[in-house]
Structure 1
Amino acid sequence: MLSNARKYIPPCQSRFCHQPIKEIANTEYETVLSSVQQCLKRNEMSITDQRAKQSFADLERIMHDLYCKRLPRKLYRRARREYKQVKRLQKILHRRSDMMICRIDKGEGFYIGDKSIMQHKTLEYMNKTEAYQELTSDYCPLTDILHATTSVLDYLIKKKVITTAQRDKLLPNLEKLELPYLYPLPKIHKLGIPIRPIVSALYAPVNLISKFLYKLLSPIYLQVAHETTVINSIDWVRKLEKYTADGYLKSTTNFITADVENLYTMIPREGGLHALLRFLEKYSNHSKIGPFSIDMIMKMARLILDTNYFAYINKYYKQTRGGAMGSAFTQVYANIYMLQWEQKLIESQASKN
């Protein structure tokens, strides 16, 4: 089961649940029904005509039949066996506090191993990159981050670029508010199994602003970088075909690949912000993107970068360089930083041809 990873679903596990099977079937039906209805609405199709009603009734009947009918003996034995395997594994992991189970990086599998090894590799990564600073006091910075977030949003309201309702949508849910925390993803496809440190900021004060800034800047970046960016394998083949058709592919042509090690933690703060500023100055419309001035966007960017605090093993840390892996804004921020480097490289190559 573990080798098949997350894509594998143990069959018929609801048969061993303490909840009545009909209740499970009803819950699943309501979930599927909601998704289907939303899809129909998005495509401007009726959910109230006779055909739709009949389809929903058929769906309910099929789901109840699937859940409630008696399982074949062979399938039942398999489901029972895998149910016991899962429970046995859960008991082992519960008893072994020194063990951990987590997803792997860039894959569908799981890693089960010694927790202390992953902790050692995480701290080793922090020391190697020198991008993290341990806070010497026990004071949690969560309140200060929330205050800074509120101040920036109030500033945007004062400038009349967002409404109070929009500000409320960008504020975090105070009932779920928490400081981000770091967890490692093992890179089992690499020698020595290094780690990728992910900062989970789902309920962090700046999370929604980070997503907002990502959505604001990403379309512009994708448009600018379209000619020099390969989206997927099909796009690569098409670009290669055009490159060949234009007469550039020769017997002396070399294809070179390069990888920036630890990109998200290697971006210098001022260098990254300068690249973002130049990007905004070059591709904004009259120094604005939508209703937002360059200064407003830079304020939001600085807020996200300045509040990169997180918890790890009962200690507080601040990321002093780059952006947090797991932050939506960091993705477009890193892309913009690398775009500037790529453009300089392209200009340099063009001047030599």
Structure 2
Amino acid sequence: RAASRGQQQSTRRRRNDRPDSNSIVGRGFLAPTIINEAQVKLTEDEYQLLKLGPRFIYNDPKTASRRRLIELATVQRKIEARFHEKKVSPGRPVHQFIAELDILLQNLHDIPVKSNPRLNQSLQQRQHVLDIPNYMIISSQPQLIRSSKTKRNYDRLVKRLKHKFRLTDIVLRKTDKSKVFHLGKVDDYNKKSNDYMDKTQAYQCLGTQDPLPDLIQRTNKYLLDLRLAKWITQKQYEQLCVNQQEVELAHLYYLPKAHKTGTPLRPIISGLKHPTIKISKFLDDLLRPLFDKMALDTTVTSGFELLKKLKEWSIQNLKQETLLCTIDVADLYTMIPQVEGVLALKKMLDHFKLKQIGGLKVETIVRLSRFVMQNNYFSLNGQFYHQIRGGAMGSPLTLTISNCYMYFYQQDIVKQISNSGGLYFRYIDDIFLAVNWPIRHLIKQVDRWNQFDSNIRLSANISLHANFLDLHIENQNGQLFTNVYHKPSYEPYYLPFNSIPPLHMKKNIPFAMFLRAIRYCSTFNAYLQERESLRMALLLNKYPGDLITSQFNRVLSKFEINDQLSIRNYERLRDQLIQSSHPSRDRTPFDHEKMMFIHFTYCTNMKSFPMKFHNLWHKYFGDSPINEITPILGTKNADNLHKRLVHTRS
């Protein structure tokens, strides 16, 4: 353990060693940081900006102003649609409402009016987008307010950093687990990328010839053939076919696993506009609920789910010699053969004895799934690749196919463990076992399971304690002990309090953290330690102490716990909280016919906007045919630092 601690401290020192560290205020105890493996020189302002982390959103009224016209046009369409539902013409009040709302937003965005020839053109553009009568816009212009307030120029810092990274061949990414910024060298990324491709043999290089035009043509022809054969309907064909103006080839990028030796990379194929993405989403929407139903007894999706099942199992089955085991499946997405992966979907459909689902025959689903799996293409560093093994990480269908494949692979393992009174659960490529076997027998069985399928490689950790997802578990002389697990890569980084998003979004962070602490920590002392660590992390992220305390009390009140937690009542009140459903799940469902959801980009001057908006709404629509409609205001955010600084497309 001492050696392990020394290694962690050495790693921590390596991460924080910067050539310009003498000019920067030190990181401080547990403060969130950046991982500067490339040892790039940073000024104090640059370092402090990156230290704010990928989620940080600075005040950007220019973005809010730039989006204003589109957002107003969307609101106008929604209001007019509600009038049309009542078979009433929207008329002048809608135009007046939008015009006055436009002025209100300009005041809040602090956009000055300039007397120059371009003003008329701007007004004409606004009139075209919003369809507001010209006299309403011009008459309202003098109401605008000028402001001389200055702000820290984050825009200039962002541009300077992007220029510096380009000049020095630096790759900026957020880390795979801790989600702080990581700075690496392009050459290092390229070497690790080549090593990964050589290891998996899952990608075929196509050179510099772009496969996108041919893929678009083949996808549309494949869908048309299915339509002509009446395997899919005309509506499904129109839903799935590819518009060449709306698609682009996927691209591969990597997230650094900074918590592991050598900083290996996790491959991500980003294909949100890939020609097959609509088919992938369509199939996944049909198939994933079936898998969830089939695998209900052997699957968990969170540490809290495992905690509840383990807590119940341990009452009768946990003994002093009970072993806890976690198993990792290596490179699951890329190691599953494409043909066998699709056959696993077919086995699932046969399991439910289904002839069709969602109006599609089983054979149609199999064909479409095969087409998606066999047509994953992407670009990297100017080269094009075809994935010939496994599925693309990032494609919705890949997860369901991988889950199905693992489900049928694990059947003999589950049966063996269940017959001996053990516990088995899986979350994608992570497996948890609790068994009353001798350790030699368990090791031997893991070796045997590794012979089941040459594509599945299992790596096991066996002990009296285990870490699974965010849950730490211990067998303490036959007593179950649990608390929150923080990975070695853990950085106490959360959305900074001085970030722009509205207060209610920030309040939810300490609320969720304190709720998890009570649920996971099985003893009062463990809970106190976790609570103080959370308090420190939140303080380091600029959260006020009063807000932290109020959110802790809010957790108790939400679950109707009126007593303060103590060593005497902790176990009883914790059990009460674990057994209670989350209050948010008991909310009355929205009546969408009587509600209208409206979103505007948020900036710091808009704290008074909700009240002013509702006053305007009541002024123009309080006695109108849509007076029963309640507008629900939501916020859009400007881009965070990750979107502004990180470019995954090479």
TM-score, normalising length from structure 1? Answer: 0.79
Counterpart pick for 2:195 among 124, 133, 136: 124
Cα deviation, 1:286-344, whole Å, max 9, x if unaligned, reads x3223222211111111011112222222222212110111111111111111112222
Q: Which amino acid aligns with 1:276?
A: L
**Maintained 8 Å contact 1:309/1:316:** yes
Distance 1:306 1:83 in 2: 43
Tell me the residue number matched to 2:357. 289
Establish whether residue 332 from structure 1 lines up as the match of residue 400 from structure 2.
yes
Distance 1:95 1:142 in 2: 31
| SS of residue paired to 2:173 | strand
Larger Rg: 1 or 2?
2
Counterpart pick for 1:113 among 172, 184, 189: 184
Tell me the residue number matched to 1:259. 328
Mark the runs of 5 or more structure 2 residues left unpaired by the alignment.
Answer: 1-48, 83-89, 91-96, 111-144, 422-650
- For residue 268 of structure 1, report the CA deviation from its aligned partner: 2.3
Cα distance change, pair 238–299 in 1 and its aligned pair in 2 (3 A): same
Cα distance change, pair 32–293 in 1 and its aligned pair in 2 (3 A): closer
Tell me the residue number matched to 1:272. 341
**Maintained 8 Å contact 1:179/1:201:** yes
Distance 2:147 2:411 in 1: 62
Tell me the residue number matched to 1:51. none
Cα deviation, 1:229-283, whole Å, max 9, x if unaligned, reads 11213222221233235x2333332221111121111112343233222122112
Tell me the residue number matched to 2:413. 345
Q: Which amino acid aligns with 2:320?
A: S
Establish whether residue 7 from structure 1 lines up as the match of residue 55 from structure 2.
yes
Tell me the residue number matched to 1:43. none
Higher helix share goes to which structure?
1
Cα distance change, pair 227–71 in 1 and its aligned pair in 2 (3 A): farther
Cα deviation, 1:100-155, whole Å, max 9, x if unaligned, reads 223332443333332121111111100011112223x6543333322332233224
Q: Which amino acid aligns with 2:370?
A: R
Counterpart pick for 1:233 among 270, 278, 303: 303
**Maintained 8 Å contact 1:148/1:303:** no
Cα distance change, pair 275–194 in 1 and its aligned pair in 2 (3 A): same
**Maintained 8 Å contact 1:177/1:204:** yes
Establish whether residue 299 from structure 1 lines up as the match of residue 367 from structure 2.
yes
1:71-150 alignment to 2 at 5 Å?
A: 76=150, 79-96=151-168, 98-135=169-206, 138-150=208-220
Tell me the residue number matched to 2:30. none
Tell me the residue number matched to 1:166. 236
- For residue 163 of structure 1, report the CA deviation from its aligned partner: 2.7
**Maintained 8 Å contact 1:29/1:63:** no
Tell me the residue number matched to 1:67. 109
| SS of residue paired to 2:253 | strand
Distance 1:311 1:155 in 2: 28
**Which 4+ runs in 1 deviate beyond 6 A?**
55-62, 69-73
**Maintained 8 Å contact 1:134/1:318:** yes
**Maintained 8 Å contact 2:231/2:361:** no
Tell me the residue number matched to 1:192. 262
Counterpart pick for 1:214 among 284, 292, 313: 284
Distance 1:112 1:258 in 2: 31
Mark the runs of 5 or more structure 1 residues left unpaired by the alignment.
Answer: 41-47, 49-54
Distance 1:248 1:61 in 2: 68
Cα distance change, pair 31–325 in 1 and its aligned pair in 2 (3 A): farther
Cα distance change, pair 62–258 in 1 and its aligned pair in 2 (3 A): farther
Tell me the residue number matched to 1:321. 389
Tell me the residue number matched to 2:546. none
**Maintained 8 Å contact 1:199/1:310:** yes
Cα deviation, 1:132-184, whole Å, max 9, x if unaligned, reads 2223x654333332233223322432353533232122122211333322122
Higher strand share goes to which structure?
2
- For residue 24 of structure 1, report the CA deviation from its aligned partner: 4.6
- For residue 221 of structure 1, report the CA deviation from its aligned partner: 0.7
- Count of residues in Structure 1 that have an aligned counterpart in Structure 2: 327
- For residue 29 of structure 1, report the CA deviation from its aligned partner: 6.3
- For residue 204 of structure 1, report the CA deviation from its aligned partner: 1.9
Tell me the residue number matched to 1:45. none
- For residue 228 of structure 1, report the CA deviation from its aligned partner: 1.4
Q: Which amino acid aligns with 1:290?
A: G
| SS of residue paired to 1:150 | helix
Tell me the residue number matched to 1:153. 223
| SS of residue paired to 2:310 | helix
Q: Which amino acid aligns with 1:157?
A: R
Distance 1:5 1:59 in 2: 34
Q: Which amino acid aligns with 1:313?
A: N
Cα distance change, pair 155–345 in 1 and its aligned pair in 2 (3 A): farther
- For residue 220 of structure 1, report the CA deviation from its aligned partner: 0.6
- For residue 350 of structure 1, report the CA deviation from its aligned partner: 3.5
